[in-house]
């Protein structure tokens, strides 16, 4: 074989080898994307665990230096490895057992709703009566159970770092939604961290937290739910931090940040499912709470429009303050979330 022929043969062999190598790399990348949901990520205990709710949800213990403990977070990875994140916050009676958004005791399964979507669903468990805020003092009157709440720090610093490293969630491609207590908290967090959250959704929230009488109502509610001290959150009635964390006072931040805002609250009139499954005595609290939510939501909407922010609104003619309503809103707003995060 002549030198020139050997050279041509060698070139062909190298070209084939390179082509095969590229095919292997491409195939490997494709497989990694396809299997984004199929493996458990590391957490502070070693590895996350598969959650009983299924739909690829992992229960991960995420270390919070600010609260000096692990926070359980239920996470559904993006279907195709996308970098978007959708945070779902709970109501006032949140427990560390499970997020209400995937609880077997609620009529909603967010993981099933978003099972076909290319975003990472982020559902922290716990935060009873916390308003997902950084409290300035121990939360309870009980000295043996003080509770150190630093939820804002966790949700905007500690958890994003974990999600970026282990789930590929970008720091700047997120939406946040919440129900009831979590709805107002989502609005506050989105307004204060527009670099993290490009969209916020409020389902049956209370969005006017510093109007006359609100502090008294809040005090009674927090005593009832866990025995919490409202003054431990932001201080006394006249502490500036109360106003700095009221969604009503944060409208300019949402407007100037270009945040996409969706707010909803039903009429408080029982719907068909409510009538079929709930005796009247169990409907009554849902009526009162949802009527109050719609009043504050409409007041917030009016203030927002006066200040140049035009939210998308949803005021269903029927619906109580319960999971039937929040499941409806979760599904109704899904296309909006996917569009905002480019997560189809």
Structural contact between residues 206 and 296, judged by C-beta atoms closer than 8 angstroms: yes
The CB density around residue 58, as the number of other CB atoms within 10 Å, is 21
Q: Domain limits of the chain?
A: 1-34, 43-341
Q: What is the pLDDT of residue 9?
A: 39
Beta strands in the chain (DSSP E): 42-43, 46-47, 49-50, 58-64, 69-76, 84-89, 119-124, 174-179, 197-203, 260-264, 312-314
Say whether pLDDT at 31 is over 90.
no
Q: What is the pLDDT of residue 106?
A: 86
**Residue environment code for 9-35, b if the CB has 16+ CB neighbours within 10 A, otherwise e:** eeeeeeeeeeeeeeeeeeeeeeeeeee
Helix/strand/coil for 321: coil
In the chain, % helix, strand, coil (3-state, to 5) comes to 45, 15, 40
Residue 88's contacts (CB-CB under 8 Å, 6 or more residues apart) are 99, 101, 110, 121, 122, 123, 176, 177, 178, 182
Say whether pLDDT at 206 is over 60.
yes
- CA dihedral defined by 206, 209, 212, 215, rounded to 10 degrees? 100
- Catalytic residue, candidates 128, 152, 290, 301: 290
> Higher pLDDT residue, 112 or 26?
112
Q: What is the pLDDT of residue 144?
A: 87
Class of CATH domain 43-341: alpha beta
- Catalytic residue, candidates 106, 117, 130, 180: 180
User: Model confidence at 19, in pLDDT bands (50, 70, 90)?
Assistant: very low
Q: What is the pLDDT of residue 30?
A: 30
Known catalytic membership, residue 193: no
Q: What is the pLDDT of residue 250?
A: 98
DSSP label of 194: T
Sign of CA pseudo-dihedral 225, 61, 203, 235 = positive
Q: What is the pLDDT of residue 4?
A: 45
Compute the average pLDDT of residues 212-235. Answer: 94
Bridge-based pairing of strands 119-124 and 69-76 is antiparallel
Distance (Å, whole) CA 342 – CA 170: 13
Q: What is the pLDDT of residue 12?
A: 38
**Chain segment 33-59, per-residue pLDDT in tens:** 448 999 999 999 999 999 999 999 999
Distance (Å, whole) CA 63 – CA 159: 8
Structure tokens that stand for 22 in this block: 């590229």
Q: What is the pLDDT of residue 266?
A: 98
Known catalytic membership, residue 290: yes
- Catalytic residue, candidates 185, 301, 314, 321: 321
**Chain segment 137-187, per-residue pLDDT in tens:** 999 998 888 899 999 999 999 999 999 999 999 999 999 999 999 999 999
Structure tokens that stand for 243 in this block: 């106003």
**Chain segment 86-107, per-residue pLDDT in tens:** 999 999 999 999 999 999 988 8
User: Model confidence at 276, in pLDDT bands (50, 70, 90)?
Assistant: very high
**Chain segment 234-254, per-residue pLDDT in tens:** 998 889 999 999 999 999 999
Structural contact between residues 124 and 71, judged by C-beta atoms closer than 8 angstroms: yes
What percent of the chain has pLDDT above 70? 90
Distance (Å, whole) CA 178 – CA 88: 6
Using the structure block, give the residue that is written with the tokens 């949901």. 37
Q: What is the pLDDT of residue 14?
A: 40
User: Model confidence at 213, in pLDDT bands (50, 70, 90)?
Assistant: very high
Distance (Å, whole) CA 303 – CA 313: 13
């Amino acid at each position: 074989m002549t030198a020139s022929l050997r050279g041509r043969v060698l070139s062909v062999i190298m070209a084939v080898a390179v082509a095969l190598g590229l095919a292997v790399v491409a195939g490997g990348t494709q497989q990694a994307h396809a299997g984004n949901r199929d493996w458990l990520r590391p957490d502070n205990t070693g590895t996350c665990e598969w959650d009983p709710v299924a739909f690829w949800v992992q229960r991960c213990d995420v270390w919070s230096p600010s609260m000096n403990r692990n926070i359980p977070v239920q996470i559904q990875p993006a279907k195709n490895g996308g970098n978007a994140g959708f945070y779902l916050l709970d109501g006032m009676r949140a427990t560390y057992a499970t997020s209400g958004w995937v609880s077997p005791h609620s009529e909603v399964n967010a993981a099933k709703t978003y099972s076909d979507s290319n975003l990472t669903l982020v559902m922290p468990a716990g935060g009873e009566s916390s308003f997902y805020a950084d409290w300035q003092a121990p939360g309870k009157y009980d000295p043996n159970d003080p509770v150190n709440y630093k939820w804002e720090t966790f949700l905007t610093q500690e958890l994003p770092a974990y999600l970026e490293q282990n789930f590929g969630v970008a720091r700047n491609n997120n939406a946040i939604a919440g129900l009831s207590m979590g709805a107002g908290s989502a609005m506050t967090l989105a307004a204060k961290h527009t670099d993290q959250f490009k969209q916020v959704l409020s389902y049956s929230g209370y969005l006017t937290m510093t109007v006359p009488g609100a502090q008294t109502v809040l005090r009674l509610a927090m005593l009832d739910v866990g025995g919490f001290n409202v003054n431990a959150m932001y201080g006394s009635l006249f502490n500036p931090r109360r106003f700095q964390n009221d969604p009503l006072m944060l409208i300019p931040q949402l407007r100037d940040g270009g945040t996409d805002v969706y707010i909803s609250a039903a009429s408080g009139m029982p719907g068909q499912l409510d009538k079929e499954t709930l005796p009247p005595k169990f409907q009554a609290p849902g009526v009162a709470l949802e009527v109050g939510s719609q009043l504050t939501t409409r007041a917030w909407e009016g203030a927002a429009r006066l200040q140049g922010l035009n939210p998308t609104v949803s005021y269903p003619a029927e619906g109580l303050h319960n999971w039937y309503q929040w499941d409806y809103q979760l599904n109704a707003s899904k296309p909006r979330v996917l569009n905002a995060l480019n997560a189809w």
